[in-house]
Structures are given as C-alpha cells and as structure tokens.
Amino acid sequence: MQQNEIFDINKKLILDPNEVDLEFLTAQLSLLNKTKIDFGDLFFLHQTKERFSLDESIVKSGSFSIECGVGIRAVIGEKTGFAYSDSVDKDSICDCIKAARSISSGHNCDRAAINIDVIKHKPLYTHKNPLTSIAQERKIELLKLLDNKVRSKDPRVIQVSATINSSYRHMLILDNDGRLHADIKPFAQIVVNVIMKQKDRIESGYTSKGGAYLLDNFDSETVIESLANEAIRIASVNLEAQEAPSGTMNVVLGSGWPGVLIHEAVGHGLEGDFNRIGSSLFSNKIGQQVASKSCTIIDDGTMLDRRGSQSIDDEGSPSAHNVLIENGILKSYMMDRQNALLMGVSTTGNGRRESYNCLPMPRMTNTYMQVGNYSKEEILSTVKKGIYATNFAGGQVDITSGQFVFSTSEAYLIENGKVTTPIKGATLIGNGPKTMCEVSMVGNDLSFDAGVGICGKQGQSLPVGIGQPTLKIDALTVGGSNLA
C-alpha cells in the first residue's frame, strides 16, 4: 500500500466525517505560526479495540471501543502548550490551536506561507483491519478450542483463562511546516493462563502470541496446540520447583523475554529526557565504556510484525535502527523532537504517545541485545553453580540510581554446567550499568518476547518489543529463601 492510499483512508475516517479539509487545516497552521514557537503539530487519532475473554470454559465477556480525538501542541524550548479534544470538528480544533499557542507571547513575522505536503513513508504492515480479519464466531471458537486443548492434556488443570485482543490504529500528524504524515497499525494478541494443582500445591503457567499483524495468524490448530503445550509446560515446571538459593553468583539469562531486564535496567536510562536533565546514570557518557565489550544494545522500530514497530513515530519521524551501545561503548540516546532540539542532536524516531490526549516522550520500540558467538550449551557449561532464568514475572527500576529488582517466574539451578532443578521465588537484585559490565558471554540464539511487552512511563502505556540471546552475568545478587 502506498502512502497516499494510507492518507486517503485516514482522511475519510477522521477528517471527512467532521468536514475538516486541508484548506481549513492550512488556515489553522497559519494561526499557530503567528506566534513565535520552535515547532508545533496536530495529532489526529482514530483507534478501535476489541476483546473476547474466556473463563471456566465459557466466553464470559466481549468488548468493543472506539477512541477518536486530536491533540495540538506548541513548543518553545522546555515549555509546551498543549490542548486536546475528543471531537475532531472545526470549533474544537480552533479552540485547541488558541490554547496551545497561548504559551507564546512573541510574534513570528518570518514564517513563510504554508503548503500542506503529504510525506511518503514506507509502511511496515498491512492496512487490513485485524478486528474483521476473522469472524467473531471464529474468535469464540478459537478460545473454546484453546480451553479444550489445555484441559485434555493434563488432569491437573483446574482453571483456564484465555483472551483474544485486537486493535486498529489510524493516525494523521500535521506539523507546523505543513508536513502531513499518515500511518495505520494493526495489532493482534492471544493469551492463555493455566492453573494446575498437584496434591496441595497450586501453580500457574502463562503464554501468549502477538504482534503487528492480523488475527488470522492464530487461526490454526498448530498455533492453538503450541500455546496449550507451553502454558502447561510452565505450570508443570512450577509445580516441581524448589525454593531458590540466595547469594551472589553466576546468572544465565535465557533468550527472549528475559531481555526485559535490559529494557528496564538499561533502556529507560538511555531515553533522551532523562539524559537531558541529567537524572540518568548514563548522562554525559556518550563515547564512554558503560557495559562489557560483549554488549551491543539496539532499539529498532523497523522490524517486521514486532509489537513495538512503527512506520513513523507519533511526531512523524521515520522509525529507525538505533545502536545505543556498541561493544560496551555508549553511542546514542533515544530522542523525541523536543529533547533532540534542546540537546542539539537529531531525533531518532522514538517520540511516542499513548493517545491524542498525551504528550509524546522519548520511548523504546523494540529493544534488544545483539547476538554473540556462543551457543547456549557453551554458556551453561562454564557455570559451576548458579541459576538459569528463562522467564520473569515483573520488576522495578530506579532510573537515577540504576538499582533494579526482578522476580523470576521460571528458573533453574545450574550445577557443574548442567541445568538441573527448577526453582521458585528467585529475585535478581543489582545495578543496571554495573550488571552490564558483568556480562561475559553472549549467545547466538537471539529471540523476542511472545507479544506481551507493555512499557509504562509517566502514566502512559505503550506496546514494545523485547529480546536478547542467552547471556551470562558473572556476578549478580540472587534473593531466595535458601543459602547458596
């Protein structure tokens, strides 16, 4: 699909029903530009969401929502004038323009006449609607099939819950230079949670599949079978798990979702706003060694089908492949337009916002550790006594100090180079930059999360991708109930 086709679709959906045309928008840009501002923009959003949930073998709930509105901002240095409306009519746009431009008391006499130009971007995904890619009846059938598969595989299953989510995002971004950007993004996800009981012990297993594609990616018995098998496998492992050891030891992180530790402990510290104000441990360290030479960390919003991918960011900047840390050397930060302007650098395509009523901020897209030279088996063989963490339940990080705490949801002991007993209750405690300096081996088995990544920042939640190969951390504190 060509960019002008995407613009036409979004125009018919967002602007035309409200009788908003380009002539009117040109006049509003002229009004915005009469004040002295560094830049400004109009962000239009139309998003539909649908959700079906199963519990106790019954599809108990279904929901559908439509979100539509416009957010308008004017930026002068560190100050931002911002107004939004959930109505995309002419009066609302006029009111928002007046409110946003009121931040400036200066007058701009140099701005040339505005001509709106539709900017071409290479679309990363299909323009088709994921909500209608399969029939509602089939979505219900898939949830029931998933429930049946799980229950038929293991008599210890006592509860199954499953959900199918889909959304369809349309946006138009018009900046004060007249550049008009358009994008469409589909998203689909299926998740299953299994609870199993063995004697008096109850444990759960959770898995999912999702990405920037259509629901027909799940319309396969093979996909349903694999989801059922994985959820049961994780719950079964947890039923056999023993209490985790404690102490400072070798820790091997598995490939894929364990990259959430890098996302939280390192990724947030590399976002431009934290570094501009000097609140990150990585501030003013461009060109310095901030991790071991084994570490190359990348944020890439251009990856096909990934949850955090985007053709353009929410300011109209093209998405990019950004090398943040290369062989341990800090190369760049992730930037939105305002922080890039204030720091005298270029935007990196990381200006993202949850909705039209939120301001964009520098945010991650798909953040991952680049592959290394070792197999998983080679890495494990070097550990005499440690733990192997393959999944995480959650954690928290302090950006200023770099301190983090993460809880594992699937982990094992490593004894004499072999993965042995599953363990529960293991907590990883450390400091982001210091931990990255303890990375001694990086595997060749890069993989990504299964479409579950959600990143929160200042009250805004956004889909992200997370990935890494298997890697070894030479010394990390493990909190558990047994002495190591």
Alpha helices in 344-394 (DSSP H): 376-381
Helix/strand/coil percentages in the chain, nearest 5 = 25, 40, 35
Q: What is the mean pLDDT of residues 170-183?
A: 96
DSSP designation for 254: P
State the amino acid at position 418 in one-letter form. Answer: K
Instruction: Check: CB of residue 422 under 8 Å from CB of residue 411.
Output: yes
Alpha helices in 174-322 (DSSP H): 221-240, 260-262, 272-276
CA pseudo-torsion sign 145, 146, 148, 152? positive
pLDDT in tens, 51-72: 999 999 999 999 999 999 999 9
pLDDT in tens, 438-476: 999 999 999 999 888 899 999 999 999 999 999 999 999
- Copy the structure tokens of residue 78: 């560190």
User: Would the pLDDT of 484 be above 60?
Assistant: no
* Closest-CA residue to 219 (of 307, 288, 295, 130): 130
Instruction: Check: CB of residue 281 under 8 Å from CB of residue 436.
Output: no
Q: Confidence band (pLDDT; 50, 70, 90) for 82?
A: very high
| Domain locations in the chain as residue ranges | 3-240, 243-483
User: Would the pLDDT of 106 be above 90?
Assistant: no
Residue 42 has a pLDDT of 98
* CATH number listed for the domain at residues 3-240: 3.30.2290.10
What does the alpha-carbon distance between residue 262 and residue 180 come to, in Å, rounded to a whole number?
35
Cα-flanking dihedrals φ and ψ of residue 274, to 5°? Answer: -65, -35
pLDDT in tens, 252-286: 999 999 999 999 889 999 999 999 999 999 999 99
- Flag the least confident range among 24-28, 378-382, 391-395: 391-395
- Copy the structure tokens of residue 464: 């992200």
Instruction: Check: CB of residue 20 under 8 Å from CB of residue 90.
Output: yes
Number of Cβ within a 10 Å radius of residue 101? 22
Residue 112 has a pLDDT of 67
Residue 121 has a pLDDT of 87
| Three-point CA angle 36, 42, 43, nearest 5° | 145
Exposure of 396 by Cβ count < 10 A (0-12 exposed, 13-18 middle, 19+ buried)?
A: exposed
User: Would the pLDDT of 371 be above 70?
Assistant: yes
User: Would the pLDDT of 141 be above 60?
Assistant: yes
Q: What is the pTM of this model?
A: 0.94
What does the alpha-carbon distance between residue 393 and residue 410 come to, in Å, rounded to a whole number?
8
User: Would the pLDDT of 77 be above 70?
Assistant: yes
At residue 193, the 3 state secondary structure works out as strand
User: Would the pLDDT of 375 be above 70?
Assistant: yes
